[in-house]
Amino acid sequence: MTTVVAPDATALTAADRCDRCGAQAYLRVELATGGELLFCAHHAREHGEALRQIAVTVQDETHKLAGTQAEGQH
């Protein structure tokens, strides 16, 4: 079973990097084995379903990306 982490969990920061590509991480997955994986939004989307099947908890902060594209460029 996968549980989404409560909003009061330690927020991911710019220092947290994707385990696949090194970009800023927006998804933290805690595994039953005690390990954790971090993913950027791209890799979170790519591997999200499989990760949720093996995760104990998932901290998804991809919502932070809304509106971060170059505003004012239309």
Question: Which pTM was predicted?
Answer: 0.76
In a domain, 34, yes or no: yes
SS (H, E, C) the chain: CCEECCCCCCCCCCCCECCCCCCECCEEEEECCCCEEEECHHHHHHHHHHHHHHEEEEEECHHHHCCCCCCCCC
* Per-position pLDDT tens, the chain of length 74: 455 554 556 999 999 999 999 999 999 999 989 999 999 999 999 998 898 889 999 999 999 998 655 544 44
In a domain, 45, yes or no: yes
In a domain, 4, yes or no: no
pLDDT for 1 equals: 45
pLDDT for 66 equals: 85
In a domain, 2, yes or no: no
What total number of domains does the chain contain?
1
pLDDT for 29 equals: 95
Domain range for residue 54? 13-64
In a domain, 20, yes or no: yes
